[in-house]
Amino acid sequence: MEKRKNQDLICGFGSFQAKYMSLKHFIEMKAREYEKNAEALDEAFEMAQNDENNFDNLAPGTEQINQDDCRSW
């Protein structure tokens, strides 16, 4: 059964290395496509985290008050 699983993974290629080599150009092209946006994504994530932290400081305790109000019903 294990050999069959490996054959399914390499899809007719003689080895995993042969399969990789056939896909290497495509993989590298996709990596470059995503890497060029990595810095912008990191900055956007950082900004979102900062916004979330600022909201926490805006009204600390509000969530607890809301939970207490809900429990009293």
From the CA atom positions of the chain, what is the Rg in Å? Answer: 25
Among 3-7, 11-15, 29-33, 42-46, the minimum mean pLDDT is found in 3-7
Our CA angle for 9, 10, 12, nearest 5°, is 125
Q: What is the DSSP annotation of 45-66?
A: HHHHHHHHHHHHHHSTTHHHHH
In whole angstroms, what is the distance from residue 34 CA to residue 26 CA? 13
pLDDT of residue 30: 92
pLDDT in tens, 17-73: 888 898 999 999 999 988 888 989 999 999 988 887 777 776 667 777 877 888 776
Could you tell me the pTM of the whole model? 0.40
Among 5-9, 12-16, 37-41, the minimum mean pLDDT is found in 5-9
Work out the pLDDT band at 9, boundaries 50, 70, 90: low
